[in-house]
Amino acid sequence: MEYSKVSDNIYMMHPTQANNSLKSVTNTVPTTCIAHPDGLIFVDCGAYPDLSFKFRLDMETKFQRKTSHLLLTHLHWDHFLAMETFKDVDIVAPELGIHEFNNTINTIDKLEVDKWASSLLIDEDEIIDIVKNVKLFPPNILITEELIIGSTGNEVIFQIIGGHSIDSAYIYIPSERVLCAGDNLIECFAQLPGTPEKTLEIYSHWETLAIDKVIPGHGNVVNKDFLLKIKHYFEDLISALRNLISNKTPRKEIFSHLSLPKYFAKNQLNWTESSGPDMKWIEMTTKSWYRYLKHG
């Protein structure tokens, strides 16, 4: 486990596991602590209850204040599995994700953990053991659009935006110039966006915000330039795909076509193709967007 200082009042915990050197969806989800004047606000809690518990205690000791909220950027299991750590505070989540959340609870309650893990291609014994013993419960505050915590000058803005999933949200802290992007921005893997239009809408909106640092849904903190590079990549990808469609290029030739833009983050040391050996996220997005742009 490692901590990173994002700003004077924001810290991020990386759940690096000594016995798992490979990057996976579980050991790359950061948990963020915002030291708000009215209490500590955590964003996502990841999948490791022991690490989440220690991080909370360490932050409460550092900032000498109690925890008031856990904000969940979306209700995918790798972002909420350790929620028991925050059972005594307000847990805020997007209402649109509660159906998937309940499905996860029902699967675990029925003791179908191995079946659940197999369907998600999870082969980490540690995670399977955690799931077998985890205590999950519904978030007590469900948001349909926006929640603002704090008064003017100290706002923490929780905004539903969609994209990666219908319930995806971001958290913006204007006073710290920090954005918690959720899985609409990933640093260590290729992106898993929504439709072309929604993706550009999200990135264009973020471009208007006063941001110095961006905390991704997976990976290390980045700056606004990283966000803009991804936006430009998506713009170039959409343009190239539209040209290929216009030229009636066969679908089987799309992904290997020389006109497609190169994903810039491939050159970064922390980057890997995907979280699984047989998953090719860039190819998947490219082919999906090709079909979408062609058929609507």
From 188, 214, 231, the end of a domain falls on 231
Q: Which of 231, 248, 270 is the last residue of a domain?
A: 231
Three state DSSP letters for 96-109: HHHHHHHHHHHHHH
The residue type at 171:
I
CA distance 103 to 106: 5
**Are residues 239 and 197 located together in one domain of the fold?**
no
The enclosing domain of 180 has a CATH number of 3.60.15.10
Looking at the fold, whether 124 and 206 belong to one and the same domain comes out as yes
User: Same domain, yes or no, for 10 and 155?
Assistant: yes
Same structural domain, 130 and 267: no
Quick one: pLDDT at residue 120? 66
In a shared domain, residues 169 and 291: no
Last residue in a domain, options 184, 203, 231:
231
Digit-coded pLDDT (tens) for 25-50: 888 999 999 999 999 999 999 999 99
What's the mean per-residue pLDDT of the chain? 92
Convert the pLDDT of each residue in 259-269 to its tens digit.
Answer: 999 998 988 88
Please check whether residues 192 and 248 belong to one and the same domain.
no
pLDDT digits (tens, 9 = 90+) for 120-153: 667 677 787 888 888 899 999 999 999 999 999 9
Phi, psi at 48, each rounded to 5°:
-115, 100
Four-residue CA torsion sign, 128, 130, 134, 140: negative
Whether residues 270 and 225 fall in one domain: no
**β-pairing, 178-186 with 213-218?**
parallel
The reply to whether 87 and 196 lie within a common domain is yes
- pLDDT at position 18 is 42
Alpha helices in the chain (DSSP H): 49-63, 77-80, 98-109, 113-119, 125-133, 196-208, 224-246, 281-295
The confidence score (pLDDT) of residue 134 equals 83
Is the model's pLDDT at 59 over the cut of 70?
yes
In whole angstroms, give the CA distance from residue 31 to residue 53: 11
The SS3 of residue 17 is strand
Average pLDDT over residues 191-204: 97
Q: Say if residue 165 is in the same domain as residue 115.
A: yes
pLDDT (average), residues 244-250: 94
Distances (CA, A) of 283 to 46, 64, 192, 249, 279: 27, 47, 11, 16, 9
* Domain match, 196 and 264 both: no
Same-domain check for residues 244 and 175: no
Q: How many domains does the chain have?
A: 2
Q: Are residues 248 and 203 in the same domain?
A: no
Domain span at residue 178? 2-231
The DSSP output letter for 250 is -
pLDDT tens, 219-230? 999 999 999 999
User: Is the predicted pLDDT of residue 164 greater than 70, yes or no?
Assistant: yes
By C-alpha distance, which of 73, 60, 61, 129 is closest to 101?
73
Q: How does DSSP classify residue 195?
A: -
